[in-house]
């Protein structure tokens, strides 16, 4: 038994290299010239780093291949850890990774955002750690940082983070890993945010992709009634690739995943690059596709047990969700276009949005903060100041769904729903001043 395990690991570690992936216009392409569509899952077995246990990664990668997945999203990693075994195991299964660059203590704060060298260096360390792998697809500079109206002033900091990490990538002569952002599906803010992060005409300051955590489609549902028609209307000829970085509403359940037919169907496939399903492991929020055993007492402690669920072992499909998704994905084989025939000039660069009464506080193409500048105030102005300071908060918990229609039952999750009062916010918020303070 031990011999077969070592053989499996050796096979994973010496796996053939996968074609690398880059972004051109509003599409992803492999180095072989084929358009790439994501069929992925969120993968965070443990809060700190699930890509350090080669044996577990090999088990999970094998079942993910059976499911039809080709991407995993990992929310937190330890850049100092050894990821060679896990990355090889996933590569051997034909699976790419999307990695969040932030950590529990370096993410951009929504209320008092700042962007400093400590954050930049921490993000860069993750980029360094995964730059050597062919199946590193791309990286997120943030996840659902903006979820309420008075948080939109964080948008320039998201853009500044993307600017600096892209510059770091290029200065290190890494390949052109796409660097983007994963947004909450907040109707009053999302249209302005996706346009703002890609506007202004300076590609070096813009994100390389825009991703959306959306739980609008709850089976049984239709394209028009779900809100997907509205999402599609704002994605037509978007200037960078756009995809669902979390989806898979579980209300009322079981999940049928009919939204996958829409995302990869004729109405959306020309503008969207696929979807990542939340999530791989079964937890208290009941979004899991697999489990490693029955739930245990929530107060139980022990090796690989956390929050009442075992975090390691032989993955067992959750019925019927796993097979429902497997069946749907097996029927979806979009061919897309070849990079040799694709003309990225047809995409449309959006105008930088102006401030709105419903809560978008950033007015136009404002000057981005430089490294070390901190937000104080209630709206955005490019005026710098040498006064004031903020104390960084510490993020706790792990990612969980947060959207207008899906309650985040995981107690470690972020904001769970739209504040219905956003639409009635007074435009008087726009008159509050923002200043920058130096954060060394």
Q: What is the pLDDT of residues 208-243, one digit of tens each?
A: 999 999 999 999 999 999 999 999 999 999 999 999
pLDDT at residue 295 is higher than 50: yes
Catalytic residue flag (residue 246): yes
Other C-beta atoms lying within 10 Å of the C-beta of residue 350: 19
- Name the average pLDDT for the chain: 84
Residue bearing tokens 């599409």? 27
pLDDT at 179 over 50: yes
> Residue 187 in contact with residue 231, Cβ under 8 Å?
no
Could you tell me the pTM of the whole model? Answer: 0.86
Q: Which of 86-90, 295-299, 371-375, 414-418 has the highest mean pLDDT?
A: 86-90
Q: How far is CA 63 from the centre of its chain?
A: 22
Structure tokens that stand for 333 in this block: 């084989």
Question: Is 202 buried (19+), middle (13-18) or exposed (0-12) by CB count in 10 A?
Answer: exposed
367 Cβ contact list (under 8 Å, min separation 6): 382
pLDDT at 17: 84
What domains can be seen in the chain, in order of their start residue?
Answer: 2-438 (3.20.20.80)
Q: Please give the share of the chain, as a percent, with pLDDT higher than 70.
A: 82
Which pLDDT value is given to residue 258? 97
Asked whether the predicted pLDDT for residue 274 surpasses 60, the reply is yes
pLDDT higher at 365 or 12? 365
Task: Tell the residue number behind the tokens 């052109």, with chain if given.
Answer: 176
How many other C-beta atoms are found inside a 10 Å radius of the C-beta of residue 360?
27
CA distance 306 to 339: 45
pLDDT at 304: 87
Mean pLDDT of 80-98: 98
Give CA–CA dist 383/101, Å, rounded.
Answer: 28
Residue 386 has pLDDT above 90, yes or no: no
For 112-127, how does the pLDDT look when each residue is reduced to its tens digit (9 = 90+)? 999 999 999 999 999 9
Asked if 101 and 164 count as a contact pair (C-beta separation under 8 A), the reply is no
- The number of residues in the chain equals 440
Q: Is the pLDDT of residue 312 over 70?
A: yes
The pLDDT of residue 18 = 95
Q: Give pLDDT, residue 409.
A: 32
Return the minimum-mean-pLDDT range out of 86-100, 151-165, 372-386: 372-386
Distance between CA 230 and CA 223 in Å, rounded?
Answer: 9
Q: Cβ distance 101 to 165 under 8 Å?
A: yes
Answer whether residue 306 shows pLDDT above 80.
yes
Residue 59 tokens read as 């088990």
The whole-number average pLDDT for the span 297-308 is 84
pLDDT category at 150 given cuts 50, 70, 90 is: confident
Instruction: Grade residue 14 by pLDDT with cuts at 50, 70 and 90.
Output: very low
Collapse the DSSP code of 5 into the 3-class scheme (helix H, G, I; strand E, B; otherwise coil) and give the result: helix
Give pLDDT, residue 16. Answer: 56
pLDDT tens, position by position, 128-145: 999 999 999 999 999 999
Residue 224 has φ and ψ, to the nearest 5°, of -75, -45
DSSP bridge pairs for 139: 99, 179
- Calpha distance 176→47 (Å, rounded): 28
The predicted pLDDT at position 378 comes to: 53
Q: Which of 144, 148, 205, 283 is catalytic?
A: 144
Please pick, among 148, 205, 246, 279, the residue that the annotation labels catalytic: 246
Peptide bond preceding 279 in cis form (omega within 30 of 0): yes
Hey, which bits of 200-340 come out as E strands? Answer: 210-213, 242-247, 272-277, 290-291, 305-306, 309-310, 316-317
pLDDT band at 430 (very low <50, low <70, confident <90, very high): very low
Q: Which two tokens stand for residue 45?
A: 């077995």
Report helix, strand or coil for 109: coil
Q: Are 57 and 44 in contact (CB under 8 A)?
A: no
Using the predicted structure, report yes or no on whether residue 294 has a pLDDT greater than 50: yes
Confidence at residue 152, expressed as pLDDT on a 0 to 100 scale? 93
């Amino acid at each position: 038994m031990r011999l077969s395990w070592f053989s499996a690991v050796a096979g994973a570690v010496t796996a053939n290299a996968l074609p690398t992936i880059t972004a051109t216009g509003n599409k992803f392409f492999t180095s072989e010239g084929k358009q790439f569509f994501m069929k992925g899952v969120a993968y965070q077995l443990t809060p700190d780093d699930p890509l350090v246990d080669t044996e577990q990664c090999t088990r999970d990668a094998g079942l993910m291949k059976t499911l039809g997945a080709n991407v995993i999203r990992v929310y937190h990693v330890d850049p100092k850890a050894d990821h060679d075994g896990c990355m090889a195991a996933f590569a051997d299964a034909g699976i790419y990774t999307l990695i969040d660059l932030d950590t529990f203590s370096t993410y951009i704060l929504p209320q008092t955002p700042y962007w400093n060298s400590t954050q930049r260096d921490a993000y860069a360390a993750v980029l360094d750690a995964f730059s050597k792998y062919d199946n590193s697809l791309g990286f997120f500079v943030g996840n659902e940082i903006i979820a309420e109206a008075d948080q939109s002033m964080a948008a320039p900091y998201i853009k500044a983070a993307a600017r600096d990490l892209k510059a770091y990538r290029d200065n290190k002569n890494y390949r052109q890993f796409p660097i983007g952002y994963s947004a909450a599906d907040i109707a009053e803010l999302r249209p302005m945010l996706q346009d703002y992060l890609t506007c202004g005409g300076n590609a070096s300051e813009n994100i390389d992709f825009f991703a959306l955590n959306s739980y609008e489609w709850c089976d049984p549902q239709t394209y028009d009634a779900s809100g997907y028609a509205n999402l599609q209307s704002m994605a037509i000829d978007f200037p960078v690739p756009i995809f669902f970085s979390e989806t898979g509403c579980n209300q009322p359940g079981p999940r049928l995943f009919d939204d996958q037919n829409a995302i990869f169907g004729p109405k959306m496939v020309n503008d969207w690059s696929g979807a990542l399903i939340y999530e791989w492991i079964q937890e208290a929020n009941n979004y899991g596709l697999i489990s490693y055993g029955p739930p245990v007492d929530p107060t139980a402690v022990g090796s690989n047990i956390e929050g009442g669920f075992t975090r390691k072992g032989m993955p067992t499909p959750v019925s019927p969700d796993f097979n429902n998704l497997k069946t749907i994905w097996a029927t979806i084989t979009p061919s897309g276009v070849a990079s040799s025939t694709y003309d990225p000039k047809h995409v449309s660069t959006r105008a930088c949005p102006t401030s709105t009464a419903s809560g978008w506080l950033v007015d136009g193409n404002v000057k981005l903060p430089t490294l070390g500048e901190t937000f104080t105030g209630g709206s955005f102005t490019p005026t710098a100041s040498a006064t004031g300071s903020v104390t960084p908060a510490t993020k706790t918990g792990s990612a969980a769904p947060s959207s207008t229609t899906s309650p985040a039952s995981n107690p470690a999750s972020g904001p769970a729903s739209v504040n219905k009062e956003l639409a009635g916010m007074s435009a008087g918020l726009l008159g509050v001043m923002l200043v920058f303070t130096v954060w060394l």
